[in-house]
Amino acid sequence: ANKVTWSDEMKRIFGLDPVTFEGDLDEVIQHAIHPDDRALVFAMNEAVIHDARPADTEYRVVWPDGTVRSVLARPGERVTDAQGAIIKLSGIVQDVTEQKRAENELRRNLQRLSIATKAGGLGIWESDVRSGFQMWDERTQAIYGSSGDEVPATYERWMQLVHPDDLPGVLANEQAAIERGVSIHNRFRIVRPDGAIRHVETHAEPRFGEDGTLECLVGVDQDVTEWVESEERVRLQYVALEAAANAIVITDANGSIQWVNPAFSHLTGYSAAEALHRNPRELVRSGKHPGDFYQELWHTILDGKVWRGELINRRKDGSFYHEEQTITPVRNAGGQITHFVAIKQDVSQRVRHQEESFKLMWQMRAQAEQLTQIIRSVPEGVLLLDVDRHVVQANPQGDILLHQIVQRAADGAIDRLGDQPLDELLTSPPAGEWHLVRHDGRSYEVAARPVESGPVPAGWVLVLRDVSDRLAAQMQLQRQERLAAVGQLAAGIAHDFNNIMSVIITYAELSEQAPGLTPRERARLVVIREQALRATTMIRQILDFSRRSVMEMQTLDLLPLVKEQRALLSRTLPEHIEIALDFAPADYVVKADPTRMQQMLMNLAVNARDAMPEGGRLTMALSHVVVAANAAPLPG
């Protein structure tokens, strides 16, 4: 009648009330067996009925309150009557819910472990401390570069893969762990069969037997080569940032300083401790920039763009400095801005140099303008030639002379100036500082100077002037000077001859008065006197000629002139004539012609010489006299 007899534990397993349960099997199957497992239960029962001896079967039961439990049914014996008909079936049901939950948890944990070891590149291994046998999983094999057939079977084979330089330390740590029964944490290098060197980090725990003795080490290995290399790169980058000459600041997205390098402290005067977690504007803002300057800066970097600019900041001691700054936004994996990196360079010296350069440039420009004005105002012509001898600049007089005497080559370069090739004019002149150039009957002087800008001249400066009138005046003056010299010579000769003629005429006249002269003798004396008078007339004409020479009146100090004449006379007059100079300390300045004054002194000295044939004293005296109006120039 499909009735079941259950123990109280059986009823508890199925969540049934021991008092009210009537043992209706169909009711149990209908309400206590999970709908998805009913077919499985029917099949198990059918197998028992037909003596098929089914295996233990696991299925789920549902309690009246909806709780689902897992059970394990172990079919028992069949009981039959004398005819062999089945009277009843026996079996055992065990509540395996907690076991199932533990298995599921273990399965999930194993799955998590598999995911974690796979994601972390962790290889699992065991090492029997007694036999030295090694057991590696596939990831451990991959770490050591071995295939399944090449897995080291012994501890000794594994040691061969450890880098020789790291092996002593690895063995020492492992031996200490074995002796003390503690965990192992090592990082070392391995040399793969292909020669590649990798960095491995291992964590191992000891596993003890039931008797408390150490059986093996169980651990995980991880290939940390990329991490080590990355760590080394980060270390080098950090060292580079620390050693960088430019100040570097890292802030969070709100501008709070997270890190600064030593150059920042050197630049601003703030230590890293003073700067951390503060906003740069609290430290170095100078107040030299308007608010919209910083608004534009923040708008740029918050928009994810790099800001570059120059600003004036303030040091801790209050001094200002010019700073060239670049601010770069840093994004996380999600694209959000998390930090800003600012690189700062002190450009105060460059700014000062620029200001000095601008000042110097304006000074040079002002000087150039002044020089241009001076060049434009000078009477000489000035030409500036480039290295190819083209005219770069000319003053007004230079433009005039340029069209008068310059001859150009086909390319416009200056080829000749007047009758002289330019090449000769760019060399030193034969005498003096000027070359003489002639053109169309006029004369010009040319001086050339190189424009120095290195070992090779960058151009030339030519100075030109028309000296035709000056040379004509010089020639006229030279003619006058020659005429004056001839006149002075003629006057001296005439003076001497006039003295001689005076004596001849005087003696002729006296001889004519002598008694006892024959008419013939008297006639001869008349001839002598007449010829002497004629000679005197000719001498007077020579004197008149000498006086017609050009007289140049100028301011003349008589004392140096008289001293010079005294020295000259002391060498020319006979030695028995003593020459003295008498004067009182004073200025003896007159308006006179120096040549005539020299001639006058010479004539007086010659007369004095002639008056002292036996020798004597010739005194030359200088004194101041006052001449009244309409009076004779000199007394006597």
**Given 3.30.300.20, 3.30.565.10, 3.40.50.2300, 3.20.20.70, which CATH number is that of 553-636?**
3.30.565.10
Mean pLDDT of the chain: 84
| Range 294-298 average pLDDT | 91
Report the 10 Å Cβ neighbour count for 266: 11
Best-predicted range by mean pLDDT among 205-219, 315-329, 445-459, 544-558? 315-329
Q: CATH code for 467-550?
A: 1.10.287
Q: Give the Cα separation of 296 and 552 in Å (integer).
A: 85
CATH class for the domain made up of 244-346: alpha beta
Band (pLDDT 50/70/90 cuts) for residue 616 is very high
Q: Give the Cα separation of 126 and 144 in Å (integer).
A: 15
| Residue pair 247/343 in contact by the 8 Å Cβ criterion | yes
Half-sphere exposure of 453 (CA within 13 A, CB side): 7
Mean pLDDT lowest among 67-76, 116-125, 201-210, 391-400: 116-125
Q: Give the Cα separation of 171 and 186 in Å (integer).
A: 10
Check whether 456 has a pLDDT greater than 70.
no
Check whether 539 has a pLDDT greater than 80.
no
Q: In what order do the strands lie in the sheet with 57-62?
A: 57-62, 68-80, 86-95
pTM of the predicted model as reported, rounded to 2 decimal places: 0.43
Higher per-residue confidence, 18 vs 323: 323
Q: What is the pLDDT of residues 141-173, one digit of tens each?
A: 888 888 666 655 678 888 889 999 999 999 998
Check whether 481 has a pLDDT greater than 70.
yes
Q: Give the Cα separation of 267 and 349 in Å (integer).
A: 13
Mean pLDDT lowest among 108-117, 161-170, 406-415: 108-117
Check whether 635 has a pLDDT greater than 60.
no
Band (pLDDT 50/70/90 cuts) for residue 315 is very high
pLDDT for 632 equals: 63
Instruction: Show Cβ contacts of residue 218 under 8 Å, excluding neighbours closer than 6 positions.
Output: 124, 125, 126, 204, 205, 207
Higher per-residue confidence, 514 vs 410: 514
Mean pLDDT lowest among 219-233, 275-289, 477-491, 497-511: 477-491
Nearest CA-CA partner of 274 in 253, 311, 244, 249: 249
> Using the 8-state DSSP alphabet, how is residue 426 labeled?
T
Q: Give the Cα separation of 216 and 128 in Å (integer).
A: 4
- 578-585, long-range: CB within 8 Å, 24+ apart, which pairs? 578/616, 578/617, 578/618, 579/618, 579/619, 579/620, 580/617, 580/618, 580/619, 580/620, 581/619, 581/620, 581/621, 581/622, 582/619, 582/620, 582/621, 582/622, 583/559, 583/621, 583/622, 583/623, 584/622, 584/623
Q: What is the pLDDT of residues 232-263, one digit of tens each?
A: 888 888 888 888 888 999 999 999 999 999 99
> Using the 8-state DSSP alphabet, how is residue 129 labeled?
T
Query: What are the structural domain ranges in the chain?
Result: 8-102, 120-229, 244-346, 378-460, 467-550, 553-636
Q: Give the Cα separation of 255 and 253 in Å (integer).
A: 6
Check whether 4 has a pLDDT greater than 90.
no
Check whether 108 has a pLDDT greater than 70.
yes
pLDDT for 189 equals: 95
| Residue pair 490/546 in contact by the 8 Å Cβ criterion | yes
Q: Give the Cα separation of 27 and 9 in Å (integer).
A: 18
pLDDT for 313 equals: 93
Nearest CA-CA partner of 281 in 267, 271, 266, 291: 291
| Range 457-482 average pLDDT | 81
Check whether 111 has a pLDDT greater than 80.
no
The three-class DSSP label of residue 35 is helix
Check whether 471 has a pLDDT greater than 80.
yes
Q: Give the Cα separation of 241 and 622 in Å (integer).
A: 96
Q: CATH code for 8-102?
A: 3.30.450.20
Does this chain's domain 8-102 share its CATH topology with 467-550? no
| Dihedral (Cα; 552, 557, 559, 565), 10-degree rounding | -20
pLDDT for 110 equals: 74
pLDDT for 371 equals: 77
pLDDT for 494 equals: 74
Check whether 636 has a pLDDT greater than 50.
no
Half-sphere exposure of 141 (CA within 13 A, CB side): 12
Q: What is the pLDDT of residues 570-607, one digit of tens each?
A: 877 888 999 999 999 888 999 988 877 887 888 888 88
Is the CATH code 3.40.50.720 the one for domain 120-229?
no
